[in-house]
């Protein structure tokens, strides 16, 4: 972690799974961010107790309502974050929220494909648009040169199952709507990287490993703690070399 400090971070889908653990471990850093914005769909629902209890101990943790398929909720979250940031900008945006409903080539429907695309691709696209002015402000204000998560970055949480160059076999990973959506998310990442490089914003897709969460199931290889320890290490080391790439939780570049 030497030399890197995230002044402000926003994590979507932060009430459980990888998103919640990211928030926890960011707050436990020796030099924690001043602001951690944790978004969830239902801040008053039953599935955010852990996040709420963290927020009661950490004044810099702000819970924001954000539903990826609802542009008004995304824009309202951006407005609220802007008030807290007071012109200092947002350093790190982690588009983590996502879904993986079962869908094989035989069972998948038009509705499945479109609904997963809306959450996994349109969501991160809209979230990034809404927070872009804050990311640009952070990059501009930073005394750091080059690209890094300490300066300004968009991290889109993807999966190795999205790879066209090295796809896992269908029997191992038959979730067609999910795989297609994450491949599209990779292209979104690449386009964002091409567009925002000159603004000083790093853009990368991230594979968190196969992680024991509701999405990853309890058969997965990694605990959420192991995955997120790796992710935070990787985030603190990302630079020009990994810009516009798919990187895994151990820092390896995955061919996409
Ligand atoms: P979980 O199912 O544990 O958590 C998913 C999170 O996304 C929840 O907070 C959920 O909120 C939120 N979410 C779902 N739909 C929406 C929506 N429409 N709007 C806003 N938030 C939403 O998943 P993981 O933690 O495992 O996954 C996190 C990310 O990591 C995903 O993008 C996933 O694709 C990726 N990933 C995970 C792997 C794994 O093995 N676990 C492997 C590769 C990639 P709510 O509680 O309200 O449903």
Cα(146) to ligand 1 centroid in Å equals: 31
Pocket of ligand 1 (CB under 6 A): 13, 15-19, 41, 47, 66-69, 96-100, 119, 157, 159, 207-208, 210-211, 213-216, 220
Q: Is the pLDDT of residue 2 over 70?
A: no
Give the tens place of pLDDT for each residue, 122-165.
999 999 999 999 999 999 999 999 999 999 999 999 999 999 99
Q: How far is it, in rounded angstroms, from Cα 44 to Cα 56?
A: 15
Give the tens place of pLDDT for each residue, 172-201.
899 999 999 999 999 999 999 999 999 999
- Does residue 52 belong to any structural domain of this protein? yes
* Among 116, 122, 95, CA closest to 178: 116
Which residue puts its alpha carbon closest to atom 8 of ligand 1?
A: 13
Domain that residue 144 falls in: 8-248
- Does residue 241 belong to any structural domain of this protein? yes
Residue range 106-117: mean pLDDT, rounded: 97
Backbone angles phi, psi at 68, to 5 degrees: -60, -25
- Does residue 254 belong to any structural domain of this protein? no
Radius of gyration of the chain (CA): 17
Which atom of ligand 1 is the closest one to the Cα of 215? 2
User: For the whole model, what pTM was predicted?
Assistant: 0.98
Cα(198) to ligand 1 centroid in Å equals: 31
Which atom of ligand 1 is the closest one to the Cα of 220? 40
- Does residue 2 belong to any structural domain of this protein? no
- Does residue 256 belong to any structural domain of this protein? no
Q: How far is it, in rounded angstroms, from Cα 254 to Cα 160?
A: 7
- Does residue 210 belong to any structural domain of this protein? yes
- Does residue 192 belong to any structural domain of this protein? yes
The domain tally of the chain equals 1
Which residue puts its alpha carbon closest to atom 31 of ligand 1?
A: 98
CATH code, 74 = 3.40.50.720
Candidates 102, 215, 248, 250: which one to mutate for ligand 1, based on the most atoms within 8 Å of Cβ? 215
Q: How far is it, in rounded angstroms, from Cα 124 to Cα 28?
A: 26
Q: How far is it, in rounded angstroms, from Cα 170 to Cα 190?
A: 25
- Does residue 53 belong to any structural domain of this protein? yes
Residue 1: per-residue pLDDT = 52
């Amino acid at each position: 972690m030497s030399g890197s400090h995230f002044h402000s971070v926003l994590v979507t889908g932060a009430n459980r799974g990888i998103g919640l653990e990211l928030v926890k471990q960011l707050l436990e850093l020796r030099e924690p961010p001043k602001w951690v914005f944790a978004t969830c769909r239902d801040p008053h629902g039953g599935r955010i107790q852990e996040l709420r209890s963290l927020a009661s101990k950490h004044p810099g943790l702000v819970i924001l309502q954000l539903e990826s398929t609802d542009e008004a909720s995304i824009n309202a979250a951006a407005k609220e974050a802007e008030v807290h940031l007071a012109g200092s900008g947002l350093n790190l945006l982690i588009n983590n929220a996502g879904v993986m409903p079962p869908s094989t080539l035989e069972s998948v429907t038009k509705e499945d494909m479109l609904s997963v695309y809306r959450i996994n691709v349109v969501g991160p696209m809209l979230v990034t648009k809404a927070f872009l002015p804050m990311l640009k402000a952070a990059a501009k204000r930073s005394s750091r040169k080059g690209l890094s998560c300490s300066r300004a970055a968009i991290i889109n949480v993807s999966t190795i199952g999205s790879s066209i160059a090295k796809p896992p076999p269908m029997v191992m990973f038959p979730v067609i709507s999910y795989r297609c959506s994450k491949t599209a998310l990779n292209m979104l990442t690449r386009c964002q990287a091409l567009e925002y490089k000159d603004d000083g914003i790093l853009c990368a897709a991230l594979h968190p490993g196969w992680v024991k969460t509701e999405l990853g199931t309890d058969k997965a290889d990694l605990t959420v703690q192991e995955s997120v320890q790796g992710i935070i290490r990787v985030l603190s080391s990302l630079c020009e070399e990994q810009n516009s790439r798919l990187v895994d939780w151990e820092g390896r570049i995955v061919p996409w």
